[in-house]
Amino acid sequence: MNAQPVYWSLLKHKDWQLYLAATEKGLCFVGSQGQAFEEVAAWVEKRMPKSPLIEDAEKLRPYAEELIQYLEGERTSFTIPSDYRGTEFQRSVWEALCEIPFGETRTYSDIAAKINRPAAVRAVGAAIGANPVMITVPCHRVLGKNGALTGFRGGLEMKSKLLEIERKA
């Protein structure tokens, strides 16, 4: 069986530059601000070995459009399909993240309780850190128990900017 292609594009909007990648099934990766393309290629190689990377801005256009609408404060939810790959536990965490309403936050403990694994707070944190589709799977809405901004693959400055977008909308 041939590996399925992974299409990619660089979303550039105002001061945002994010690599996006998708399969035929949906968005599989949203990069972090300032991330190098080599990091994206390494991510694809690790999770989808032998999948060819093909630059295709047109194929990524629907994903880019919804992300730009979000970054502009015009969109509060996403309709684009996702093709995120992870363990059953990771997927349960990512699905719980998608249930956090726009403009609201939760703690790692809240997510652990939501998936009926209240003692798995650290594992929940690791799964959140492995989220391949930032923004559309809103890991930026998870804060530390004391309400502090904590770990985020895109960096705390990016997390803060995303939360600010949601506060203003």
Task: Provide the annotated active-site residues.
Answer: 139
- Residue by residue, DSSP assigns the chain as -PPPPEEEEEEEETTEEEEEEE-SSSEEEE--TT--HHHHHHHHHHHSTTPPEEE-HHHHHHHHHHHHHHHTT--SS--S-B-----HHHHHHHHHHHTSPTT--EEHHHHHHHTT-TT-HHHHHHHHHT-SBTTTS-GGGEE-TTS-----TT-HHHHHHHHHHHHH-
